[in-house]
Amino acid sequence: MLLYPAAFREEYGEEMAFVFREQLQDARRKHVVWLRVARDLLTIAPKEHFNVIAQDVKYALRKMAASPGFTSVAILSLAFGIGANTAIFSLWNRVLNSALPVRAPEELVTLSDPNSSGVGIGSTTGARGLLTYAEFEQLRDHAEVFSGMLASQSSLDRYQIRIDGHQWEEAAGRLVSGEYFQVLGVSPAIGRVFTAADERSGSPFAVISHNYW
């Protein structure tokens, strides 16, 4: 009976239960009664649920047509609420939940000060959220709890570049440590990436992104 709509149970439930008990008592083969009940359940219950939903929809449409102002406010509120939740979920899923395109993204951690409200690079007093490169080098050379460490500039810089004598153009880039690609486990599509050995050579190296290439 619980599979039927509540209104249907209130109106016909007791009578159906009484008829079922009588059929069960009088039947010689009780499994036939159960099969008949199961058949009725599969045919009648969905139909009754559909009827209840149809009645509710018709009632709702009549109420909405009678109060167009209230209906407009309700629809706009739902639209803004659903849109905001969708946008927040999309951002959360893209930033926090989606796996990064690197080797073992669940093993990556960021070293910073979670209580810092500003960056203050170069400051000798107060909390800082970012590290200088000299501090990174000390951590890299002495930390034993990580399999590898990398450093990355906190923001993109703009550079004026030209290739093979063509016109100068602006490109965005950031400075990273020599171990950058090795720690992330990223391989190039063409050519090779730089390594810690290239950093020690003193010559500048660059890796071009796929979009810019």
- 35 and 51 belong to one structural domain: yes
Whether pTM exceeds 0.85: no
Residue 162's domain comprises: 102-213
Domain count, the chain: 3
- 123 and 204 belong to one structural domain: yes
- 32 and 54 belong to one structural domain: yes
pLDDT in tens, 84-124: 999 988 887 777 766 778 888 888 888 876 566 555 554 55
Using CA atoms, how far residue 159 sits from 4, 41, 96, 168, 171, in Å, is 70, 72, 30, 10, 5
- 90 and 143 belong to one structural domain: no
- 78 and 61 belong to one structural domain: no
- 93 and 112 belong to one structural domain: no
- The packing angle between helices 6-26 and 30-66, to 10°, is 170
Alpha carbons 15 and 1: distance in angstroms, whole number? 11
- 62 and 78 belong to one structural domain: no
Give the DSSP H/E element, type plus range, for residue 161: strand 157-161
- 121 and 85 belong to one structural domain: no
DSSP 58: H
- 90 and 176 belong to one structural domain: no
pLDDT in tens, 45-82: 888 888 888 988 998 888 888 888 888 898 999 999 99
